[in-house]
Amino acid sequence: MRRARAFPGPIGTHAFQVRASRFSLEKFISTFDSLGLSAELTRAVAAPDMRERLASAALEPAPNTPEQFKKLIVGELQRWKNVMKDAGIKPE
């Protein structure tokens, strides 16, 4: 990937979250964890064949906790807010 000199490091990231919309986040986390699904999903994406399939789509699995995911999203929102502000970009 070519990188602009003004932006050392990755320019953007993608994050995917497994979630069911009919539950509140807290209820979903509680249910998901009580069924052992969080650990199972983490094991699944760590399997060599799954990592290979994800890599072929230019994806790198990085399983994390709901709290870590929230921190990632909040950080990305702030990061891009700062980029927009510094560049004088206004939402339309």
pTM: 0.52
Q: Where does the pLDDT of residue 88 fall: very low under 50, low under 70, confident under 90, or very high at 90 and above?
A: very high
> 65: alpha, beta or left, given left = phi > 0 and alpha = psi -120 to 50?
beta
| 7 or 68, which is more confident | 68
Q: Coil, helix or strand for 89?
A: coil
pLDDT at 17: 64
pLDDT above 70: percentage of residues in the chain: 70
DSSP label of 54:
H
Other CB atoms within a 10 A radius of the CB of residue 70 amount to 13
Region 61-89: what's the mean pLDDT? 84
Q: Residue 92 above 70 pLDDT?
A: yes
Contacts of 59 (CB under 8 A, 6+ apart): 14
